[in-house]
Chains A and B, each alone.
Chain A
């Protein structure tokens, strides 16, 4: 049987505010346990929450960035459940009147097409603390520093139909929230966490199947694997005539297996009700417009500008515009590099490869866009060959010198572009290879001729100690050989 895959996502995004959503405790990462947990965060009797204006501003910025309606009157509700890292016994969240209403995000797919994914809504809520299950004499340790950290939970419509689409959406969302500066985007610290709702239905059917939810995926790779895993699991059950149980599952990326966490049919009665401690929050036009003024260029806008301003193709423009830091690095490189296309090639090629192999982010790169730009400028004006440039890049990366010109000078990588000197070398080399010259001149197939031309380049590069400009050598060779 053929199946359609239906995927919807819920994404928890930690907002990059200085303080918590309902208290003035710091949200700085990495503090000693419970040193950033105040009386409000600990749910001490008699405390009252006071909402953080910046959390609302960030949520509104997100809403504007995904073309959504902004909830003019948003209301907090209590979601009751019992867990020791939730001292109040309820999570303060928004149920019926969220801050962000319906919107959409367009994603680019590998085949060059694009697809619209609708956002159902996004609401503000508080994060819980952390439970540490290591052995504390048979007890569990609780750190409440994270309790009360502001989150927006973004809920999509079930508009994605493959792991590729879901991951493309997740990446786009990651790029969006980090670009507009409302989230630090650090997935390894849980700043973005994805829950994936998956169901299958017979191909072409209008009726949705029973879905499961796989929770807390914090890398794109695990997300892709978890979807593949869950689709296969459901398909096996359905094809054996079984029934999918609506439940929450946990995926273990290291072992590529999942297990049931709790069955939604049973215990989940959250007894939502409006929080009596908080009044409705009214968002007026002035607030929305001030949030709009804070929005930087969005990745989609930046991509369009890169194509226009730098003449990049769609693919390069997308890769360079998705991440704000990468985009800024490219612009700095292009600004000093004279040739934008060449700058793009170096940023996406050598530079990105080096980041990957050293497991570094753009912010951690040991070279600046200006340094790479100066190198690109020297490639563009033929001062250094591309193989020489790789040596310069390596030296810059390792800190053996801090500017391209000095390294080119010190390592003798300057390309010889003096036509007179190069012509002399060509004459000498050709004089030593009469058979090959004769063969070349008798050949009529231009493709084969081109190949044979390569046979002269080796000796020429050797004669010039690797410093001859290959482009000029090529031109001179063609001229001499056609005589």
Chain B
């Protein structure tokens, strides 16, 4: 299994990672190796194996619908880079 230069550029865009030109050949090699490992795993016969949702053989416990959290905005916002009028501020988002 090989991965193309275009694949790497596209994944970088999706992951919002900026790549320098010279980083790409090394990534091509490393990611290619990882994909070869996945190929090896894919070769295993799993026809009679149920897909696993979780490695623990247990079921989820649920909680009652009761308010247990109090307002701790001040504590949380003390460590936020920017806040105003109770809002967290982030760089402008444009749709």
Contacts and interface: CB of A to CB of B under 8 A. Distances in A.
Interface string B79-95: 00010111111111101
A24 B54 contact: no
Interface in B54-95: 54, 56, 58-69, 71-73, 76-77, 82, 84-93, 95
B66 to A, nearest CB: 7
Number of chain B interface residues as a range: 35 or more
B62 A84 contact: no
A17 B93 CA distance: 30
A321 interface: no
Contact of A280 (B14, B60, B65, B95): B60
A102 interface: no
A144 B53 contact: no
A353 B51 CA distance: 57
Given A42-B76, A53-B63, A280-B60, A140 B53 contact: no
A276 B73 contact: no
B91 A139 contact: yes
A133 B95 CA distance: 10
B59 A279 contact: yes
Nearest to B72: A38
A24 B69 contact: yes
Secondary structure at the A interface, as helix, strand, loop or mixed, is: loop
Contact of A35 (B58, B71, B89): B71
Interface string A30-48: 0011111111101010000
B42 to A, nearest CB: 16
A53 B76 contact: no
A141 B67 contact: no
A51 B87 contact: no
B63 A75 contact: no
B87 A136 contact: yes
A50 interface: yes
Contact of B86 (A32, A276, A279, A281): A32
A25 B93 contact: no
A120 to B, nearest CB: 21
A19 B71 contact: no
A267 interface: yes
B18 interface: no
Contacts of B72: 38-39
A425 interface: no
Contacts of A276: 54
Interface residues of A, number: 52
Contacts of A279: 53-54, 56, 58-60
A165 to B, nearest CB: 30
A282 B62 contact: no
A407 B58 CA distance: 68
B60 A278 contact: yes
Given A33-B86, A39-B76, A139-B92, A18 B66 contact: yes
A280 B87 contact: no
Contacts of A19: 65-69
A424 B88 CA distance: 82
Contacts of A25: 67, 69
Interface string A105-149: 000000000000000000000000001110010111111100000
Given A24-B67, A82-B16, A141-B88, A37 B62 contact: no
A474 interface: no
Nearest to B59: A282
A352 interface: no
B53 A18 contact: no
B93 A84 contact: yes
Contacts of A82: 16
Contacts of B71: 35-36
A36 B16 CA distance: 30
B71 to A, nearest CB: 4
B93 A133 contact: yes
A62 interface: no
Nearest to B84: A136
Contacts of B65: 17-19, 52-55
Contact of B62 (A26, A133, A250, A281): A281
B51 to A, nearest CB: 8
Given A26-B69, A34-B77, A276-B54, A144 B88 contact: yes
Given A132-B87, A276-B54, A37 B67 contact: no
A139 B60 CA distance: 40
Contact of A141 (B59, B76, B87): B87
Given A23-B69, A35-B71, A281 B59 contact: yes
B82 A267 contact: no
A-B pairs, 6 with minimum CB distance: A24-B68, A141-B87, A54-B65, A53-B62, A279-B60, A33-B86
Interface of A: 17-19, 23-26, 32-40, 42, 44, 50-56, 75, 82-84, 97, 131-133, 136, 138-144, 250, 261, 267, 269, 274, 276, 278-282
Given A133-B92, A269-B14, 20 more contacts: A19-B68, A25-B69, A26-B69, A34-B87, A36-B71, A39-B76, A52-B62, A52-B65, A53-B63, A75-B54, A139-B89, A139-B92, A140-B93, A142-B90, A143-B87, A274-B54, A278-B54, A279-B54, A280-B53, A282-B60
5 contacts: A19-B69, A52-B63, A56-B62, A136-B87, A279-B60
